[in-house]
Structure 1
Amino acid sequence: MFWLRQGVCFLPVFLVIWSSCTFIISYLIALFRHDVDIVPYISDTGANPPESCIFGLMTFISACAGTATIYARYKFVEKLTEETGLVRPCLNKVTLCFGMLSCLGMCIVATFQETAVTPVHDLGALMFFVSGIVYMIFQSVISFRAYPYGSSKYVCQARLVVAIIAAVALFPTVICAFFVTQTTLHRHAEDKDYPFYVASAVSEWIVAFSFVCFFLTYIDDFKMFTLKVTTECAEQR
């Protein structure tokens, strides 16, 4: 476990493990309690207590870990920019903003449950997915521009592939959701909108775990740097 203490790689490691556990644990509890079917929306697994409490808490912690990881990545790219000039500072800042918006969307999803305040929950989910995908695309561009500094060529390509998969999966997630007329947690194959429901739900899971896979590629990069907090006291006159 020595590699876990190198740099700040513990940030993406924790984010990947915790986020995966958030999705899986809430899903298993909801499935065990027969609150959802085999293929639910992610938010359906956190609609009823007690899984809703666990889902909300764990999702909020994931958002905080994501914020820390995204900011650390921003500072790392900023340092590379100062030394190499390969990445434009404005691109790095815009990418940071989209990453923070995605984390804010995750907080909204965790706070406003699907069955309680549906419009706000859906807005948070859309903010989370769209901003997150834009963040991944911009980070892929940054990775290629910063090459050979930072990530290897294979990691850059992996990030681009994951970002494309997430972007492609977002379309059926949103489009098929418009054809889903029922909002109940339990669905039947005889329902007319059932194929759209399954396609939208499966695509949503693909997008979510694409985020997990993307942050997994940060681990090697985060071994190469550390962050320090400095305190400066203003002189009193």
Structure 2
Amino acid sequence: MFWFQEGLCCLPTFLVVWSSSTFIVNYLIALFRRDVDVVFPYISDTGASPPESCIFGLMSTITAFAGFATMFARYKYLQRLNEITGGVSPALNKAALFFAITSCVGMCFVATFQETAIRIVHDIGAFIFFLSGVVYIILQTIISHKAHPYGTSKRVCYIRTIFAVVAFLAAFPTIICAFFVKETRLHWNPEDKEYTPHLASAVSEWIVSFTFVFFFFTYIQEFKQFTLKVNTELLEFK
């Protein structure tokens, strides 16, 4: 048995690899086609023009479903862990699942509605995705500390704390600076009036996005410890 076949660690492993590829592959394609600038475009800018918009939409949607599957598995694992050991509030676990769902829905909106087509819907989806995602990893960090020593090590708890703090701090310039960027454009010059808030928002967006990726990377070892089973029950029709 290979290491990625142990338990359910294939879920966060696939999520980390696929989501990273979503960001990097589309950036390289857009850069090769000269659809974006080299220096920190918005992630959405790399999927604004065809053909990369098609690839971005497909890969981002798959990322959203992979993210939901991973976060739902985490929810069920904590639910079972709490039944055995206690320590984790069921309400806190359900709250984390709620923000997991809303974050995935936000990503689906980002993937479906390109910023150059329907910007308002795209921006709302991005806002929901980033805000819910940051809240989710903060809640999971709190849960990790409460569940210790069961499930994960103290070192992983500290690492998740660092990621949560970085995501929280980077989320503010991502959202706030974006409000000062009124123009929808793929190419920027330092002389442009809105270049500074655009750059600050774009850099922060990349930081938050890869913080999400690295946070789910910490799930891999933990997901080796459990599996999920589906029970099928047939109802008798009268």
Length-normalised TM-score, structure 1: 0.98
- Name the CA distance, whole Å, in 1 between partners of 2:231 and 2:76: 14
Map of 2:28 onto structure 1:
28
Give runs of ≥4 in structure 1 deviating > 3 Å.
none
* Structure 2 contact 26–52 (Cα < 8 Å) conserved: yes
SS at match of 2:172: helix
Deviation at 1:236, TM superposition (A): 4.1
Deviation at 1:234, TM superposition (A): 1.7
Matched residue pairs, number?
Answer: 237
Map of 1:145 onto structure 2:
146
Map of 2:48 onto structure 1:
47
Q: After superposition, what is the alpha-carbon deviation per residue over 1:122-155, rounded to whole angstroms, capped at 9, x for unaligned?
A: 0000000000000000000000000000010011
Map of 1:71 onto structure 2:
72
Q: After superposition, what is the alpha-carbon deviation per residue over 1:182-230, rounded to whole angstroms, capped at 9, x for unaligned?
A: 3211111111221211111000000000100010000011000000001
Residues 96-107 of structure 1 mapped to structure 2, 5 A cutoff: 96-107=97-108
For the pair 1:86 / 2:87, whether they are aligned, the reply is yes
Name stretches of at least 5 consecutive residues in structure 1 with no aligned partner. Answer: none
Length-normalised TM-score, structure 2: 0.97
* Structure 2 contact 116–184 (Cα < 8 Å) conserved: no
For the pair 1:183 / 2:184, whether they are aligned, the reply is yes
Q: After superposition, what is the alpha-carbon deviation per residue over 1:12-52, rounded to whole angstroms, capped at 9, x for unaligned?
A: 00000000000000000001101001120000000000000
Q: Give the letter aligned to residue 84 of structure 1.
A: T
User: Which segment drifts farther, 183-192 or 216-225?
Assistant: 183-192
For the pair 1:12 / 2:7, whether they are aligned, the reply is no
Map of 1:168 onto structure 2:
169
Map of 1:204 onto structure 2:
205
* Structure 2 contact 148–154 (Cα < 8 Å) conserved: yes
For the pair 1:228 / 2:229, whether they are aligned, the reply is yes
Deviation at 1:103, TM superposition (A): 0.4
Deviation at 1:65, TM superposition (A): 0.3
- Name the CA distance, whole Å, in 1 between partners of 2:100 and 2:182: 32
- Name the CA distance, whole Å, in 1 between partners of 2:51 and 2:79: 42
- Name the CA distance, whole Å, in 1 between partners of 2:102 and 2:181: 27
* Identity between Structure 1 and Structure 2 (%): 62
Q: After superposition, what is the alpha-carbon deviation per residue over 1:54-75, rounded to whole angstroms, capped at 9, x for unaligned?
A: 0000000000100100000000
- Name the CA distance, whole Å, in 2 between partners of 1:6 and 1:175: 42
